[in-house]
Amino acid sequence: MSLAPFQTREGVYCMLALDHRAALVNAFRKAGVEDVSRERMLETKARIMSIAGENASGVLLDHAAVSSRPAGAGLLVPLEAQGHEPLAGARLNALEHSAGDAVAVGADGCKLLLWYRADHPESAVRQRELAARAAEDCRASGLPLILEPLVYMLEGESDEAYVDAFGALVVAAAEELRDHCDLLKLQYPGDGAVALATEAAAPLDWALLGGSEVDGETFAEQLETACRAGAKGFIAGRAVWSGCLGLEPAEQERWLREEARPLFERLVSIASAERLQSATEGG
């Protein structure tokens, strides 16, 4: 399935993610805003997209916010339901939307967030089955599927054990799930494992996930390392825009223009420069 709607002319993924639903409520709360309304959430999403997303090759938006899509950007929408179900200390996903729903809102592709622990066989096999069903649904509708496997802490797991295993688990997720999608959206596995992630994802490309765990500067550094090791760009969310959530609308606009848009432009430059360098070396 074609991923061209999400790429720059150089073949790089420079995407802004804002399909957050309950996670956005939590992000507002973290910024000091309690009981945020649905209207305020949608207005904020539109504001972020209009300013920070103007240079995006593609955007990830939930179905309720697709009207905020910037002109010229490919539209990606989520398939997963919010939250998860427990299974022996692990997590299972469910689907809320179909590829047909994505077609109905004019999307160019689908995204599936998948909680995934390769070292937890009981949940891993169930999650692979879910990914396979989603991939089949997307193929039937002619849409590509971008898969976002998220490594997480098992119930009762120590911080030390989780940190020690994290990089290898990101790599294992890429290897075990690459047959069920068209592009992988991966967490940063660590400086020493990014090349392994590229090998594990092959023949697919992968893009770096930018979540709530990193600030913009850290994400830019991670992106540079990842792209040098073979990543083909990024799909970034809170690392870019979360700083605006606690501000009033006028201040949000100012912050987005002065902070978020320059950061996003910097990320685009990093990904594009590394792609050009790789092409030059390959030629």
- Compute the distance between CA of residue 42 and CA of residue 62 in angstroms, rounded to an integer: 10
CA distances from 40 to 45, 159, 217 (A): 9, 36, 28
Q: What is the mean pLDDT of residues 246-253?
A: 94
pLDDT tens readout for residues 34-90:
989 999 999 999 999 999 999 999 999 999 999 999 999 999 999 999 999 999 999
Q: Which fold has domain 4-282?
A: TIM Barrel (3.20.20)
In which band, very low, low, confident or very high, does the pLDDT at 283 lie, cut at 50, 70 and 90? very low
In which band, very low, low, confident or very high, does the pLDDT at 211 lie, cut at 50, 70 and 90? confident
- Compute the distance between CA of residue 62 and CA of residue 75 in angstroms, rounded to an integer: 10
pTM: 0.94
pLDDT > 70? residue 277: no
Q: Locate the domains of the chain by residue range.
A: 4-282
pLDDT tens readout for residues 157-190:
999 999 999 999 999 999 999 999 999 999 999 9
